[in-house]
Amino acid sequence: MGVHHNEIKKIGKIYGVVFKRKFKRKITLFILSGFLLTSIIFSTGIGCTFVSLNTVMAAIFNVLTLGGNSANLQYTTVVIDVRLPRAVMGALVGGALAVSGCILQSMLRNPLASPYIIGVCSAAAFGASLAILFQAEIGSIPMLGVLYVPVFAFIFSIAAMFFVYYFSRVRGKISVEGLILIGVATMLLFSALTSILQYIAYEELRSIVVWLMGGLWQVSWKHVIIAFPGILLCVTITALFSRKLNLVAIGEETALSLGVDVEKLKKYLFVLVCLLTAFAVSFTGPIGFIGLIIPHIMRIFVGNDNTVLMPASFLGGAIFLVWMDVAARMLIAPAELPVGILTSLFGAPFFIYLWHKNKGRVLG
């Protein structure tokens, strides 16, 4: 008995520290999840027609019970068919971009890394612009329908992924510097190509420019049905690598000597990040700021441990984009602003304030 008691006492302190930390993390993630869920529900009530929470709940309940409740539901269309897919898509896209940024910042050991610098976003933009510009010629592909532009954007993002992967390897290994430099070069290349399209476009120019600003207004359930499993699957898989990513964030040689197969990890994570980014921007256009700054905001609250930072970034990015989309449709209602403008407009000052208040403590 005495020995047993001593054993417990012996690891008491460290066990306490670990237990307390695990508990704090669970609470944080639980609160963020709850906040995300309520954000999605509340946001469907807000727009140029306000819908009360009761009506929103009744509408959602009505759909969940397959129309069993036949109360007066004149707002069902607005809530279920218009605003709910937007909110869900906003959450998915915001989450996907934030997780991508979070992974890249650790993997490339560079706090400036974001989904933009790997070239995938601007490739998607080019693909989308191409699709919009030649809609008359190739837009008649019948089965694509509302997926016409996203499919083009997605194809080009994946092409950019292979391109960047191929050229950023040095002696068969992904070089971190190579990834950053080739990624940025690819980004600029596709931006230039997109500019050419904009320059030669005439009637379609406005559509292209608006798409490039990023927005959620075209989103319907048809988009969500594809993005939802894609993004959730990728995010779940990335979570399996989060602990090992901490070691890579310290240094590749350190990670190697601690038993991490660094090359494999970088390859998997690079593909996953590209897929996440491609899924996100193909449907909504490039939405800036989230991938860069949301991970840093979450660092201030939960620290740099990717096992908690990655889920926290996902939830943070999701909540942020849901509310920015509400702002996008409210600020100049009944017209709408592209949400991509607002994310930076509101997010940047908020981040600057937070970082300044915390004296930049999180980064070393």
Partner 1 sequence: MKIKVKDVVFQYDSVKVLENVTFEACSGELTCILGPNGSGKTTLLKCIDNILKPKTGAILINGKVVSQLKREELARIIGVVPQNESTTYLYTVLDMVLMGREPYLGRFGDISRADLEIVEEVMKLTNIFHLVERTVNELSGGEFQRVLIARALAQDPKVLLLDEPTSHLDINHQLELMELIRRITKEKKLVTLMTTHDLNIAVRFGEKFLLLNSGKIYASGSFEDVFRPEILENVFRVKTKIQYDPSLKHYFIIPLNPVR
Select 88 or 292, whichever has its Cβ closest to partner 1. Answer: 292
Q: What is the DSSP string of 55-115?
A: HHHHHHHHHHTTT---S--TTHIIIIIIIHHHHHHHHHHHHHHHHHHHHHHHHTT-TT--G
Q: Which of 83, 266, 299, 329 binds partner 1 (CB under 8 A)?
A: 299
Our finding on whether 17 is near partner 1 (CB under 8 A) is yes
Which 237-296 residues touch partner 1, going by CB under 8 A?
Answer: 240, 243-244, 246-247, 249-251, 253-254, 256-261
CA proximity to 298, closest of 287, 288, 310, 283: 310
For partner 1, which is the closer residue by CB, 277 or 306?
A: 306
Smallest distance, partner 1 to C-beta of residue 176, A: 11
The reply to whether 29 sits near partner 1 by the rule CB under 8 A is no
**Of positions 55, 62, 106, 238, contacts partner 1 by CB under 8 A:** 106
> Does the footprint of partner 1 cover residue 170 (CB under 8 A)?
no
Q: Which of 304, 330, 344, 346 binds partner 1 (CB under 8 A)?
A: 304
Binding-site size, partner 1 (CB under 8 A):
35
Instruction: Count CB atoms within 10 A of the CB of residue 160.
Output: 27
Report the site for partner 1 in 42-71 (rule: CB under 8 A): none
Using the CB atoms, write b or e for 283-308: b if 16+ within 10 Å: bbbbbbbbbbbbbbbbbeebebbbeb
H or E stretch including 169? Answer: strand 169-170
**Nearer CB in complex with partner 1: 15/162:** 15
Residues 6 or more apart in contact with residue 230 via CB below 8 angstroms: 275, 279
Rounded to the nearest 10 degrees, how much is the dihedral formed by the CA atoms of 349, 195, 103, 272?
A: 140
Binding site for partner 1 (CB under 8 A): 10-11, 13-15, 17-18, 105-106, 109-111, 240, 243-244, 246-247, 249-251, 253-254, 256-261, 299, 303-305, 362-364
